């Protein structure tokens, strides 16, 4: 048993899915194929998380900065997102998993937006778990958009506080992140969930995301369970 100051199972796990291209290079296959393998692994880890009883999983799959990549890679990723939304997410929906997207629609092709709408509509009534896919997402942009909507709604400066602002985030029903897992040896947030990550525990592994297997998630969760979360107390 754990005392009240000790974390047990996180309610919300965030994945920064890093290392797909490096994994592909190490496997001797085209770099872009690493992204497909990464998406397949995301479905497996989400399914695992649901079975363990985790209520929310978020995944950083395309940042607002990723538009700086080559036109070929961006086009491949856009097609991959459509495939994922229609194929992989369909399997997740069979597990009663609700799917939502966090980010801005700016620059996203119509086919991607349509696939996102289909996935959200198909799963909106599900309550087994929520998967929040951060697509064309940036933590700073989320905060800027929240402030813009506050101003548009005529909210007085004197009424703006942490609770008010949280209600204007993308999908404000998504709670703070308890545990953020980043793969491939990088140790930074890279603009992921900046508001919700305020008190998140951070877990880093040198494994590339496609190699982050069932046992690796269990190790990360065991590490989390042994940490004392004081939230500044």
Question: Catalytic residue positions?
Answer: 18, 66
Instruction: Give the integer Cα–Cα distance in Å for 152 and 144.
Output: 12
Mapped onto helix, strand or coil, the DSSP state of residue 17 is: coil
- Pairing of β 129-137 and β 97-102: parallel
* 182 closest CA partner among 161, 196, 202, 168: 202
Question: Exposed/middle/buried for 38, CB within 10 Å: 0-12, 13-18, 19+?
Answer: buried
Instruction: Give the integer Cα–Cα distance in Å for 61 and 192.
Output: 10
Asked whether the beta carbons of 216 and 205 are under 8 A apart, the reply is: yes
Instruction: Give the integer Cα–Cα distance in Å for 83 and 88.
Output: 7
| Token pair for 20 | 């797909």
| Token pair for 93 | 């929906």
Backbone conformation region of residue 19, classed left if phi is above 0, alpha if psi is from -120 to 50, else beta: left
């Amino acid at each position: 048993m754990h005392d009240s100051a000790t974390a047990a199972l996180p309610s919300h796990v965030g994945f920064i899915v890093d290392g797909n291209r490096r994994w592909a290079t190490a496997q001797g296959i085209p770099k872009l194929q690493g992204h497909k393998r990464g998406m397949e692994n995301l479905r497996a880890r989400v399914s695992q998380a649901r079975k363990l009883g985790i209520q929310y999983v978020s995944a950083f799959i395309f940042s607002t900065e990723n538009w700086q990549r080559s036109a070929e890679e961006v086009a491949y990723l856009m097609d991959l997102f459509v495939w994922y939304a229609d194929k992989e997410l369909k399997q997740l929906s069979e597990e009663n998993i609700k799917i939502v997207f966090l980010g801005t629609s700016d620059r996203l092709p119509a086919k991607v937006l349509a696939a996102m709408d289909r996935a959200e509509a198909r799963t909106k009534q599900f309550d087994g778990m929520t998967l929040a896919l951060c697509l064309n997402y940036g933590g700073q942009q989320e905060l800027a958009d929240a402030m813009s909507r506050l101003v548009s709604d005529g909210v007085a400066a004197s009424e703006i506080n942490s609770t008010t602002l949280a209600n204007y985030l993308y999908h404000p029903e998504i709670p703070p992140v308890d545990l953020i897992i980043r793969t491939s040896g990088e140790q930074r947030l890279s603009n992921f969930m900046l508001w919700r990550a305020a008190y998140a525990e951070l877990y880093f592994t040198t494994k590339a995301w496609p190699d982050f297997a069932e046992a690796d998630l269990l190790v990360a969760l065991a590490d989390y369970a042994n940490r004392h979360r004081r939230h500044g107390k």
